Amino acid sequence: MFIIEWIEYPVSWILVAWHTVLSPLFGAASGITWALSIVGLVVVIRILLIPLFVKQIKAQRNMQLIQPKMKEIQKKYAGDRERQSQEMMKLYKETGTNPLSSCLPIILQAPIFFALFRVLQYGIAQEKPVGALTPELTQQAHSASLLGVPLYGTFNNAAETPNPTATHILTVVLIILMTATTFTTQRQLILKNSASDNPMVKQQKILMYVFPLIFLFSGLAFPVGVLIYWLTTNLWTMGQQFWVIRNNPIPNSPAHAAYLERQKAKEAKKAAKKAASGAVAVAEVEAVVEPEKPAGPVRQQPKRKSRSQRGSGTANTGGKSSSSGDSPSGGNPSGGPPKGSNKKT
């Protein structure tokens, strides 16, 4: 009981801190304020327990991976329990596996659960200051109600509440929701995240039905505030477990097969997207490049001529000039006799 009393202080302090934050929104004496303060308490506690939850996941995966070796040890030392235990402990040490890590979140939540139970049952219900709850806050919380039901009300003591019928209805609804969320959490863990060769599946299936029945009957004695706390933590567990099963499933489980299929589809989608983007880039480059302009008329370079060709060309040119310059009088334009024609008489 000393540990529970010691935990009452941080539990009640977190509760009062959330009440201080929410009071300006809904009123200090409102049952909604106190109910949401309990929800805030769950959020804080579950965030603090995330490192332990990670250890729990690692422990579950390691336990699944060493199952074949555990079976070999059990078969090899079937008649020697002491040697079997020694070899099991050696295997746990070599693989860094702690079987208790899978139970740590539940084990560590138990004192918090009972501390909250004392805060609600002995503090608020009996109006006794507990932990950080001052006499004023205790009286205020005692007078607060949710849908006409005080937070300390239970199904069994509904007659002691201002509205027994409302207390019965609200507690029954919360108990059913709490039981259903517990069953759903266990079911998705067994069906989706358990390997086919896991020998603990049968035990887990039994617990899948045992735990909801325990909560169903024990919930009759839980105060409304405790039922709100347990329902909220179940919803958190469901969401957290869904994320783990989807993104970090145990090998050889149905969830792991679905995970591999999603990874293949994702890779195929990336490849198709990359190919499509490459085709678009090529098309854009082709559109940007200008077409080649047609070449203009090629300038004809003059051919080199030999001297004989150049000389004949010159003679031809000169002959043409002489013939074209002859006159009817023998080529002299003045009409006289040509030069050099001294005709002797």
Taking phi over 0 as left and psi of -120 to 50 as alpha, with beta for the rest, 281 belongs to alpha
pLDDT at residue 215, rounded to an integer: 81
CA dihedral 236, 239, 240, 244 (to 10 degrees): 170
pLDDT at residue 37, rounded to an integer: 92
- How much is the pTM? 0.68
d(CA 135, CA 62): 50
pLDDT at residue 3, rounded to an integer: 67
As beta bridge partners, residue 150 has: 145
Q: How far is CA 292 from CA 281, 283, 289, 295, 319, in A?
A: 21, 18, 9, 9, 51
Helix 50-65 and helix 31-48, axial crossing angle in degrees, nearest 10 = 50
d(CA 345, CA 316): 38
pLDDT at residue 343, rounded to an integer: 43
Contact 132, 8 (CB under 8 A): no
Sign of the torsion formed by the C-alpha atoms of 23, 28, 34 and 35? negative
d(CA 38, CA 139): 17
Contact 180, 230 (CB under 8 A): no
pLDDT at residue 9, rounded to an integer: 86
pLDDT at residue 16, rounded to an integer: 92
Three-class secondary structure of residue 146 per DSSP: strand
Contact 48, 10 (CB under 8 A): no
pLDDT at residue 310, rounded to an integer: 59
- For residue range 50-85, what is the model confidence (pLDDT) as tens digits? 887 777 777 777 777 777 788 888 888 887 788 888
pLDDT at residue 320, rounded to an integer: 45
- Domain spans in the chain, listed from the N-terminal domain onward: 2-261
Predicted confidence pLDDT, tens digits, the chain (345 residues): 566 778 888 888 999 999 999 999 998 888 999 999 999 988 998 888 888 777 777 777 777 777 778 888 888 888 778 888 888 888 888 877 776 666 666 777 778 778 877 887 778 877 888 888 888 898 888 888 888 899 888 899 888 888 999 999 999 999 999 999 988 888 877 766 666 556 566 666 777 788 888 888 888 988 898 899 889 989 998 888 888 888 877 777 777 788 788 888 888 888 888 888 777 666 666 666 555 555 555 555 555 655 665 555 544 444 444 444 444 444 444 444 444 444 443
Distance of CA 90 to the CA centre of its chain: 36
